[in-house]
Structure 1
Amino acid sequence: MDEDDYESRGSSQKSNGKRGAPSSSQSHSSGSQKRVMRDIDDDSDQDDHAPKTIRATTVGSKVLDILPEDFERFVKDTVRLAIFSSHSEAATVKRDDIKALLGTHTRLYDSVFEKAQERLRKVFGMEMAELTTKGRSGKNEEKGTKTYILRSTLPLDLLGSESLDWEDQLEDQGLLMVILSLIMVREGVIFESHLKQHFRRLMLMEEGSDIDKKMDMFLKKRYIEKSKLEYLDESGEKIEMEVRWGARARAEIPEENVVRFIEEIFGPEAPKTLRASIEKASNIRTKTTDSNDADAAEASNGTPCGSSSNAIRL
């Protein structure tokens, strides 16, 4: 091989690059295959995430970014908490307790609460009602407390039937209705000493009576509230305990039910102006005159006193 042949062969190798390197057409084809493979991989990743979008939970007109089974678990936990709390000493559940169940999903509170209410009404005949607080005069606007109790939503005909066995609760219900009636006809407040005077007239303060224990139970369960009042009279300074309807009574028992209870205590010999007198003494207006006939017809059908869609639960 002469020197000219060696140089020409070397220059040829330099122009072609490394031995075995692909041509420009081969490189283009390989690049296309890699891009196709990447597109296929990207599609497979999207498919893995697609079910989460398709199975998003819908509550009313809202679409929530949570799986249906997770949302259902939150609803069941809320219903369970409400029912278990109703058997506790306070018989209440707080909004923060419900939010604690949701963990990092507290933004779902309204939707979960709405669905839990629907489940409670449909399955258990109950609902969560928010307790309120009122000013000492009893006439101030009520404010929410972010605390709930369970109250009944059962229809009147079922409450008055033999389907429900109230067992020993009837005695406590009757006593509570008497107490609430006496408070209501005093414009919403009565001295505890005056209340006990009525108990003596009704022979509820006899020896061996547990009326004080019953009052403590109503107080603990928030059917009544007590507050201290200091005032001056002719004999000097006096301290009295005032008794009012409690937050739970305001949530569970409509004033109209108490008016009916008083009317049924008087019976058929009640004066025609009894309802008007009760409403005046209570500073309330429960019914229009046009609906009084309907109330009388309902009472004559055997509706139990004090019963309503909001039954007393002691």
Structure 2
Amino acid sequence: MPPARKRRADPDDSDADVRPPQRRRVSDPDEDDYAGEASNTQGDGNFDAMVKNLVRLALACEYSRTPIRRNDITTKILGTNNRQFKAVFAEAQTQLRGTFGMEMTELPQKEKVTLAQRRAAQKSQTTQKNVTSWVLTSVLPERFRQPEILPPSRAPTCELESQYTGLYTFIVSLIYLAGGSLPDGKLERYLKRVNVEEAAAQNSINIMASGGDKTEKLLKRMEKDGYVIKIRDNSTGEEMVEWMVGPRGRTEIGDSGVRGMVKQVYGDVGDPAELARALERSLGANEVPKRREELAAQSQRKGRRRRTEARGEDDSSGGSSDSN
């Protein structure tokens, strides 16, 4: 049987199998510009939305006297855009200043007052360099900070809000004028002298729950809002309860607020210079930390002395038994 011949390829088939090279599409420069503008517009829209949400968050936190925390900004506003924090924060500050006359001010950290807190801070050896919380403060000039221009909030009513503002400003001023720390007994006597609880009952202030010690509930609310801090110290062997100014009290009121309240209470005096000097002496007489350190050092010295005396007694008793 003769070998089978291979079929000769048809030239038409070879031409059909070979595909013509496809031309590379040349992009239109006008279309590229349009696409770039669209992407930029989308990015700007996302940025503007984050700025507006941060402004709303700041106003809502100030309305409820809640600190503006960095974690809330990251989780609720930025999401996965953590790298845009500085840009979003700066633009939100600009809008707050230009539209509302306010800005986000750094909230100071709580001071390590007691001996136990200082020891814990030394053991941890962690210092927070980044700011973690803010509050809104006014940037309006002093001549515009009047009740007619800046009325109290309407939550729940202007009257109740103004009464609460006056109460915590009064208590913070007492602590400042006492040198930065006020014992619990003295604060209680001051509040009774000005009839805080009686005035609250007469004016039907619902900032304190009915029943129980209304003054204590008032102080708890101020402590929760960050105006005051209640310190309990047992380092000296006896429990000392004192009140200090909280982070919001230092930021919102501060020395300037205390001076304004004192001048408003005293009014026109015969010698304004003498009042100013007395006020500066009271605000500058902050000897409480030194006194607390001295008491702690005294307690440590007493403890060492007692241990030394106990060891001496043990040695003397041991020597007498050996001689017998």
TM-score class, shorter: 0.5 to 0.7
Letter in 1 for 2:136: L
The structure with more radius of gyration: 1
Counterparts of 2:84 and 2:109, CA distance in 1 = 27
Runs (5+) with no aligned partner, structure 2: 1-7, 119-126, 153-157, 202-213, 287-324
1:133–1:142: 8 Å Cα contact kept in structure 2?
no
- Among 69, 72, 81, the alignment partner of 1:105 is 81
SS in 2 for 1:67: helix
Q: 1:265 to 1:142 in 2, by over 3 A?
A: farther
1:254-273 map, 5 Å: 254-269=254-269, 271=271, 272-273=273-274
Q: Distance in 2 between matches of 1:149 and 1:94?
A: 9
Does the 8 Å CA contact 1:92/1:148 hold for their aligned counterparts?
yes
Question: Contact 2:110–2:246 (CA<8 Å) still a contact in 1?
Answer: no
Q: Write the mapping of 1:51-90 to structure 2, written as runs, cut at 5 A.
A: 51=34, 53-54=36-37, 67-88=43-64
CA distance in 2, matches of 1:104, 1:48: 30
Q: Where in structure 2 are the equivalents of 1:197-212 lying within 5 Å? A: 197-206=189-198, 210-212=214-216
Q: Deviations over 1:226-251 (max 9, x none)?
A: 1102365xxxx532321111111122
1:214 is matched with 218
Alignment correspondent of 1:312: none
Alpha-carbon offset, residue 51 of structure 1: 4.2
SS of the residue 2:226 aligns to: coil
Q: CA offsets per residue over residues 44-90 of structure 1, 9 Å max, x none? A: 4x765544645776xxxxxxx972111111111211222223334x6
Structure (1/2) with the larger strand percentage: 1
TM-aligned CA distance change 1:142 to 1:180, over 3 Å: farther
- Supply the distance in 1 between the matched residues of 2:102 and 2:47 (Cα, whole angstroms): 21
Percent of aligned pairs with the same residue? 25
> Partners of 1:112 and 1:170 in 2: how far apart?
33
Distance in 2 (alpha carbons) for counterparts of 1:102 and 1:217: 31
Q: Check the 8 A contact 1:227/1:241 in 2, yes or no.
A: yes
Give 1:92's aligned residue: 67
How many residues of Structure 1 are paired with residues of Structure 2 in the alignment?
247
User: Which of the two has greater helix per residue?
Assistant: 2
Distance 1:154 1:214 in 2: 30
Aligned to 2:183: 191
Please identify, of 168-177 and 141-150, the stretch whose mean Cα deviation from structure 2 is larger. Answer: 141-150
Cα distance change of structure 1 residues 71 and 207 upon mapping to structure 2, 3 Å threshold: closer
How far residue 252 of structure 1 moved from its aligned partner, in angstroms, is 1.5
Change (3 A) 1:111 1:284: farther
CA contact (8 A) 2:226 2:246 kept: yes
The RMSD of aligned alpha carbons is 3.6
Structure 1's unaligned 5+ residue stretches are: 1-13, 58-64, 286-314
* Length-normalised TM-score, structure 1: 0.65
Distance 2:134 2:199 in 1: 38
For 1:131, the equivalent position in structure 2 comes to 107
